[in-house]
Amino acid sequence: MEIYKHKVQYYETDKMQITHHSNYIRFMEEARTDFLEKNGWSYDRMENEGLISPVVSIDINYKKSTTYNDNIEIATKIIDMSMVKVEFEYTMYVKGSIVCTAKSVHCFVNNQGRPISIKKINSEIYELFLSLVEK
């Protein structure tokens, strides 16, 4: 599990300085990108290898509001992996209290947007992702 930190910016909030709900998807992407980079597979590297991993679904559960200047810690992990998709889980904390839990599912496609089996196309990334699965 990797921890990514994001400080809520003023522009990410509404008039009451509460973080707008749509920003949590961006926070998830930042944390997922950081997670992949720390494990040696940045999005740039994946795309250079001809792999694209678009979002198929997102599930978010808001527990508490966050506000301007809050420091959100986002724990990111892979919870499921198959030959055609990967599922990430995110738990967001402020001062040790859970503020949001979320999941995102991503498929694998080639540069032409056609679905592919990651195991057949790039067994190295498949094995890495599989080794990172946490239940």
Q: Are 134 and 78 in contact (CB under 8 A)?
A: yes
User: Total structural domains in the chain?
Assistant: 1
- Res 1 pLDDT > 90: no
Q: In terms of residue numbers, what domain contains 78? A: 2-132
- Res 2 pLDDT > 90: no
Q: Is 59 a catalytic residue?
A: no
The tens digit of pLDDT for each residue in 38-94 reads 999 888 999 898 899 999 999 999 999 999 999 999 999 999 999 999 999 999 999
Q: Are 6 and 74 in contact (CB under 8 A)?
A: yes
Give pLDDT, residue 109.
95
Q: What is the CATH number of the domain that holds 72?
A: 3.10.129.10
Q: Are 76 and 31 in contact (CB under 8 A)?
A: yes
Give me the catalytic one of 14, 34, 59, 80.
14
